[in-house]
Chains A and B, each alone.
Chain A
Amino acid sequence: MTYITKPRLHHPLLKPNGLGFTRRDYEGKVSTLCAGCGHDSISASIIQACYEIDLPPHRLAKLSGIGCSSKTPDYFLGNSHGFNSVHGRMPSVLTGANLANRELIYLGVSGDGDSASIGLGQFAHSVRRGVNMTYIVENNGVYGLTKGQFSATSDKGSKSKKGVVNHDQPIDLVGLALQLGASFVARSFSGDKAQLVPLIKAAIRHKGAAFIDVISPCVQFNNHAGSTKSFDYVREHNAAVNRLDVILERDEIVVDYAPGSVELVTQHDGSVLRLRKLASHYDPTDRLSAMTALQEHQAKGEIVTGLLYVDPEAEDLHDYLGTVDKPLNQLGDAELTPGSAALHALNASLR
């Protein structure tokens, strides 16, 4: 339905953000996904998050692979450069883009087929390299574009729309991300915008590999009884460990909760993450205990959501590589080409 042009008229009451942009300036083309698709809710959350953190839209590059989820970057941030790459390979393309210009924000949007099946290797390696990115998997446990095959995140025992039972073990991307050293790991639900928007804001402001697994029911192929990724199932089994507010530099930090129930984490860029604890004994700054808690909850059949782990002092790939501050794509001849004198000396050493 991309032939429908969105009206450029602004509602007069749309409030501008700190940059003078309205929420409308963060939108993209009209979605072509099914009505009610969880992915469209995630796009809306991305729009809201970028609007709320005063992000200049063109300073973000959005990259995706192939699949329903990977189509969505066309539906938000219309003034940003986008790249719909090849199936399962968004992480490498994003890594290269990030190396070329460390000053932009990189948002990778992928799906469970794209990241857990064909692209599992690239997902893993981009995370373990510490690429500074926000990596969102819109996880519906099913292949939507090709009409309903199981994906690698489908739970064992879950039933397809045609009644087939999945016998394979699911891949838990959150567990993998934790193990692979992601410095920001969260899970959320496309139906819970209040939880998702702050997580996206915090992830964008995070330096390092930030991963968000968003359970996003497929209304067409995976929203029936017997599915473990349906709206009803996720609502019933959602176990949020915390509630997050992102406090930016401009905001005043007000703590109005009972002592011990709130944790403040200051990220590298100065943004403060205020976490209201919902599960006692959950410490999102301790990777080991986060992994343990995750396993315990999952064993009880719960879908753990919230900010599961954050390392506020994380380094990224550029730190490891020791690259210059100036983006590599802006280096000029003098900074790149050693010149004829150096070559002359080199020739002499090769005789």
Chain B
Amino acid sequence: MTALRAVNDFVVKFANVNGSGSASANGMFAKAVIRMGVPVAARNIFPSNIQGLPTWYEVRVCEAGYIGRRGGVDLMVAMNPQTWDADVASIEPGGYLFYDNTKPLPPEKFRKDINVLGVPLTAICNAAYRDPRQRQLFKNIIYVGALSYLLGMEVEVFETLIREEFKAKERLIPPNLEALHMGRDEAAKILQPIGLQMRRADKVGDRIFVEGNNAAALGAVYGGATVCAWYPITPSTSLAEAFTSYCEKFRVDPATGDHRYAIVQAEDEIASIGIVVGAGWNGARAFTCTSGPGVSLMQEFVGLSYFAEIPAVIFDVQRGGPSTGMPTRTQQSDLLSAAYASHGDTKHPLLLPEDPTECFEFGALAFDLSDRLQTTVFVMLDLDIGMNEWLCRPFQWDDTRRIDRGKVMTFEDLEAGKDFGRYLDVDGDGIPYRTYPGTHPDKGGYFTRGTSRDPYARYSEEGPVYVANMQRLLDKFDTAKSLVPAPIVRKAKRRTPYGVIYFGSTSPAMDESLDSLEASGVHLDALRLRAFPFTDQVLDFIAAHETIFVVEQNRDAQMRTLIMNEGGVDPGKLVSVLNYDGSPITARFITDEILRRAGDVAVRPVPQVAE
């Protein structure tokens, strides 16, 4: 039997029981990889409603820097008897199975084409600890210790991480160090290092390891958000929770202890967006965070925000389907329901961050954009970015940057006799001026409604008045094109008639796939969308290629629909690559799909010609 051999390039998957305290031990393992200078991609996989409460943590170690999900498992750490069979079945031939062999298992529970690594974890714990909870918790550290030996990882890295982790509870440091060594020593006693090995490298640089929801919440703090109204829903809940803790850290008046923020856990998503719209109308920066079902409930208010021109920010952490659906699985399936949210003729800017760094940047930017455009701006995360720690560029902030509150008429403006028409386009960009309530005793007051008003906010149901307003809203949407983040183009090394469009969490898998396609002689120019509405750059890119693959994580090719609809693009030019099984898209999938579709659209290796 062969044994997989690799250095700094393999996938370890931990199969655990929810609530067993494994998360911090597994997280420590991932962080140890980073501390050894090797890029890592770590993903939680947690079904929402299955007996045995299984959770998995998938760690991809990749010195080449690919942090998309690879697919496949080289080393399975099987700690959950309930999922044993499926876990064992998922190991690559020649891969490794690490398990607790305290109780012997019948031979049919194993596979002949994998390498089995048994360590009597329960026996070790039972001998060392009396307290059942301690036995459970330290078992996690013990297996991490054993893995550190098997994979050739530096024990000092783990020791440092333990000291950092328990800095606030120092008495926990010695027993954790002890457990680490217990596992390491036991493994060394009964096993040999395996074919998968780690070696110190220098490929991480100054990158940070953080969740997108956390980063987006930080972006909201830096973007000046003061009002957050939200309703718990997976996978967005941790965004509101992170905002709360960042506000406690950064937004408490040091002298008085008063809060420069207001966070309300509302009764539902409708109230959440209602509070956001009310606060936005009154000049505070406000947001809610939710997922697809919440966006459905918010539709009416999003339309009101569009027509009444009220700033609002919605972080949509996308997941699968409604109800019990696939709430703990990732998708990019709210694009259309966000872009065209609500009744009547409406459309809304979407920001499409590719990783937590952009969650932070776009999270802050969204508030400037929504004030500038006086409308709802969606920041479209997904579960993969939102709830997993990603290795990404560090956060940066320009201290000279100032909050852009958009067009707001002040007391002084009104006093100076400036003509105030709430829905009057004075600058030709479709964006009118607004006033905050309470600004001036007898100027600048207006009555906010849906659409039945003229440029001076006076009641009107006249057809031409309505049409003029709707046209102005289109002008405003055109203006948005120049304000949202531009797409990023990666040109192929050779001239090619093929292009690929992708966005969001697909990014790392796409980068990897482009490299592997290139290696097999298939060259594609790539465009990463970062926002809707689409700039001319997007349409020019499409025009400049014969065939464009549109890679997305939903069934109905929603981005492709959006591009066709908004850009008047020939549907025949846009070929879909769709991953929607709830798992993050992989480079293998994209590559295979593009190669498989190659026949349909005659993608072929481009003959080498002089450029």
* A→B interface (CB under 8 Å): 2, 29, 56-59, 61, 63, 73-74, 78-86, 89, 91-101, 103-104, 121-122, 124-125, 129, 317-318, 321-325, 327-329, 331-333, 335-340, 342-343, 346-347, 350-351
Contact = CB atoms under 8 A, between A and B. Distances in A.
Interface string B251-283: 101001111111110111011111111111111
Contacts of A328: 226-227, 260-262, 279, 284
A322 B437 contact: no
Contacts of B433: none
Contact of A340 (B207, B229, B396): B396
Contact of A104 (B397, B438, B446): B438
A329 B260 contact: no
B166 interface: no
Given A100-B278, A329-B283, A80 B437 contact: yes
Interface string B276-294: 1111111110100000000
Contact of B397 (A59, A103, A331, A343): A343
Interface in B485-542: none
Contact of B276 (A83, A96, A103, A336): A96
Nearest to B208: A350
23 contacts: A79-B442, A81-B445, A92-B274, A94-B278, A96-B276, A97-B282, A99-B226, A99-B278, A100-B281, A317-B262, A328-B262, A329-B279, A329-B282, A336-B226, A337-B222, A338-B221, A339-B399, A340-B397, A342-B250, A343-B397, A347-B208, A347-B394, A351-B206
Given A58-B445, A81-B445, A337-B403, A93 B275 contact: yes
A99 B259 contact: no
Chain B interface size, under 10 / 10 to 19 / 20 to 34 / 35 or more: 35 or more
Given A61-B438, A97-B279, A323 B259 contact: yes
A104 B208 CA distance: 43
A346 B259 contact: no
Given A84-B447, A93-B274, A324-B259, A56 B459 contact: no
Contacts of B378: none
A270 B402 CA distance: 41
Nearest to A103: B438
A47 to B, nearest CB: 15
B82 interface: no
Given A57-B441, A58-B439, A79-B441, A324 B448 contact: no
Contacts of B258: 322-325
B266 A58 contact: no
Contacts of B272: 92
A339 B261 CA distance: 17
Interface string B380-400: 000000000000001111110
A100 B284 contact: yes
Between A93, A94, A95, the greatest number of chain B beta carbons within 10 A of the residue's beta carbon is seen for A93
B210 interface: yes
B253 to A, nearest CB: 6
Interface string B427-451: 0000000011111111001111110
Contacts of B435: 81
A33 B396 CA distance: 56
A96 B396 contact: no
A96 B394 contact: no
Given A58-B442, A79-B442, A347 B395 contact: yes
B284 A83 contact: no
Query: Which one of B226, B278, B395 has the highest number of Cβ atoms from chain A below 10 Å of its Cβ?
Result: B278
B14 interface: no
A332 B281 CA distance: 18
Given A80-B445, A329-B284, A335-B260, A85 B224 contact: no
B278 A92 contact: yes
B284 A95 contact: no
Contacts of A337: 221-222, 224, 397, 401, 403
A324 B267 contact: no
A343 B396 contact: yes
B207 to A, nearest CB: 8
Among A101, A337, A343, A347, chain B packs the most CB atoms within 10 A around the CB of A337
A335 B68 CA distance: 38
B447 A100 contact: no
A335 to B, nearest CB: 6
A321 B275 CA distance: 15
A122 B271 contact: yes
Nearest to B280: A96
B460 to A, nearest CB: 9
Contacts, number: 229
A78 B224 contact: no
Contacts of A324: 253, 256, 258-260
B216 interface: no
A101 B459 contact: no
Given A93-B274, A323-B259, A336-B260, A351 B34 contact: yes
Contact of A92 (B257, B271, B283, B397): B271
Given A80-B437, A337-B222, A96 B275 contact: yes
B259 A96 contact: no
B301 interface: yes
B154 interface: no
Nearest to A93: B278
B403 A336 contact: yes
Contacts of A329: 226, 279, 282-284, 436
B226 A89 contact: no
A86 B344 CA distance: 14
Interface string B239-257: 0000000000011010011
Contacts of A98: 278
Contact of A121 (B267, B437, B446): B267
A121 B226 contact: no
B31 to A, nearest CB: 9
Contacts of A317: 262, 264
B218 interface: yes
Given A122-B274, A351-B34, A95 B264 contact: yes
Contact of B274 (A59, A74, A95): A95
B304 A58 contact: no
A58 B403 contact: no
Nearest to A80: B445
Contacts of B263: 321
A222 B474 CA distance: 44
B185 interface: no
B224 A79 contact: no
A129 B264 contact: yes
B448 A323 contact: no
Given A2-B459, A85-B304, A321-B263, A97 B208 contact: no
A335 B435 CA distance: 22
Contacts of B256: 324
B300 interface: yes
Given A97-B437, A347-B395, 14 more contacts: A58-B440, A59-B438, A81-B437, A82-B446, A84-B449, A86-B274, A92-B272, A100-B283, A317-B262, A317-B264, A324-B253, A337-B222, A340-B399, A347-B206
A343 B207 CA distance: 13
Contacts of B274: 85-86, 89, 91-93, 95-96, 122
Given A96-B229, A99-B275, A321-B263, A346 B218 contact: yes
B209 interface: yes
A78 B275 contact: no
A329 B435 CA distance: 12
Contact of A81 (B34, B286, B446): B446
Nearest to B405: A329
A83 B281 contact: yes
Contacts of A336: 221, 224, 226, 251, 260, 403
B274 to A, nearest CB: 3
B222 A96 contact: no
Contacts of A347: 206, 208, 394-395
A336 B256 CA distance: 16
Given A336-B403, A339-B399, A351-B209, A100 B279 contact: yes
